[in-house]
Structure 1
Amino acid sequence: MKNSLLYCLAAASMVLSFFFEQAPATSDRLLVASSQQASFLSGLLPSEAGDEPRVLTPSDSVAYNKAAERLGIETSYTENESLLESVVSWLGTPYRYGSSSKSGTDCSGFVTRVFKEVYGLTLQRSSRSMFSSVQRVDKKDMQTGDLVFFRRGPGQPIYHVGIYLKDRKFAHAACNGGVMVSSLDQAYYSRNFYAAGRVDR
């Protein structure tokens, strides 16, 4: 009995000594990889203040990837994470004309609420008045956070607005489905796309 106990203790001691001899090497490798990743990505990520690059943490990466996956876009980790997460939180909100809450919203209500949440900006309430206060942007130069405007043919008034994400996708509150992500390449939106605009922020 005594010998069995000694054998067990000796085996446990060997296992623990092996673990502690190996752990620092693994830990060092992880630290080097982590610092290399942070060094590489820090050049890509603007800081919140805009003066120095911000290092991407593992939790940032997970949050970006989850938001991007929900929105159907490929993230480069340079998009405004707060914008992506805010849009995700609105997905599925039903359409309700004249409203701007998560129990129901119309297109301009959705845009104004997201811009208030993310940028602290108060936009005009209608898509037409929003268009009059943005800086026009060429379609090929659109960036995440730009606004996209639609009208039903030449000379017709603007009737719809959404927030451009990337990869030709935009978020909007549609009459027939509420807040969703659609593509500018879909026939209906391609036909009715009018212009893109950038809000000074």
Structure 2
Amino acid sequence: MKNIPLYCLAAASMALSFFFETTPSSSGSSSSAPIAAEASLLSLFSDEDGKKHDVPANDSAAYDYYGQALGVNLTHTENKDLLRTVLDWIGTPYRYGSNSKKGTDCSGFVTRVYQEVYGITLQRSSRSMFSSVKHVSKDAMETGDLVFFRRGPGQPIYHVGIYLKDGKFAHSACSGGVMVSSLNQQYYHRNFYAAGRVETN
């Protein structure tokens, strides 16, 4: 019962966050990245100490749990270890050059998730990752594929995330840390460059 006020505050916070999708940059540029408007509902599944509750043991209930928390419709065939690991990282603050739960940048988040889920050591930078994956078309993306971003033709890749489902991907954004965002958001739609698949076998 003592957690009810906490859950109510978390729900209110999530509802309000959808009204604020971008944060103004210090230079007044319109290209600032969206803030955590699409962050997961992870806070609703945590107790006062931030310890996450156990995921349901039943497969169907577990997929429902992950789908609700990550904001995607799952087919119950996705890699549950990937979903669980991504969910565990949601809310981690952004920290350039780091890759721990105390703070991580985009490529640090991706490398840690791939190491934890698949035992694969990826290149540390988003540009290096792009050169080592199998490129796939946007309409052929699958859960676990990597999505890459650049700021226009001829510009270098500057950001990477992990594709989930329904146009959603998990990433560590400098304006909000590890969150789930949509490729349909104007910022990401404009800067999306390519998708790549890591051979996990």
Question: What TM-score do you get using the length of structure 2 for normalisation?
Answer: 0.71
Taking only the aligned residue pairs, the percentage that are identical comes to 72
Deviations 1:74-132 (A, max 9, x none): 11101000000000000000000000000000000000000001000000000000000
- Residue 172 of structure 1 aligns to a residue whose secondary structure is strand
Amino acid corresponding to residue 78 of structure 1 in structure 2: T
2:99 aligned partner: 100
Deviation at 1:62, TM superposition (A): 1.7
Indicate whether 1:82 and 2:52 are aligned: no
Deviation at 1:58, TM superposition (A): 6.2
Amino acid corresponding to residue 106 of structure 1 in structure 2: D
Cα–Cα, structure 1 residues 60 and 126, in superposed 2: closer, same or farther, change >3 Å? same
Amino acid corresponding to residue 173 of structure 1 in structure 2: S
Amino acid corresponding to residue 160 of structure 1 in structure 2: H
- Residue 170 of structure 1 aligns to a residue whose secondary structure is strand
Amino acid corresponding to residue 128 of structure 2 in structure 1: S
Cα–Cα, structure 1 residues 155 and 72, in superposed 2: closer, same or farther, change >3 Å? same
Higher RCO, Cα 8 Å, sep 6+: 2
**What is the 5 A alignment of 1:123-138?**
123-138=122-137
- Residue 166 of structure 1 aligns to a residue whose secondary structure is coil
* Uncovered stretches (5+) of structure 2, i.e. residues with no partner: 1-55
1:178 aligned partner: 177
- Residue 196 of structure 2 aligns to a residue whose secondary structure is strand
2:63 aligned partner: 64
Amino acid corresponding to residue 197 of structure 2 in structure 1: R
Structure 1 stretches of 4+ moved >3 Å: none
Amino acid corresponding to residue 89 of structure 1 in structure 2: D
Amino acid corresponding to residue 106 of structure 2 in structure 1: C
- Residue 67 of structure 2 aligns to a residue whose secondary structure is helix
CA distance in structure 2 between the partners assigned to 1:121 and 1:190 by the alignment: 28
Amino acid corresponding to residue 128 of structure 1 in structure 2: R
CA distance in structure 1 between the partners assigned to 2:174 and 2:57 by the alignment: 38
- Residue 118 of structure 1 aligns to a residue whose secondary structure is helix
- Residue 171 of structure 1 aligns to a residue whose secondary structure is strand
Deviations 1:167-200 (A, max 9, x none): 0000000000000000000000000000000001
Question: What TM-score do you get using the length of structure 1 for normalisation?
Answer: 0.71
Structure with max Cα Rg:
1
CA distance in structure 2 between the partners assigned to 1:58 and 1:101 by the alignment: 27
Amino acid corresponding to residue 113 of structure 2 in structure 1: V
2:154 aligned partner: 155
CA distance in structure 1 between the partners assigned to 2:57 and 2:162 by the alignment: 27
RMSD (Å) for aligned C-alpha atoms: 1.1
* Uncovered stretches (5+) of structure 1, i.e. residues with no partner: 1-56
CA distance in structure 2 between the partners assigned to 1:90 and 1:63 by the alignment: 17
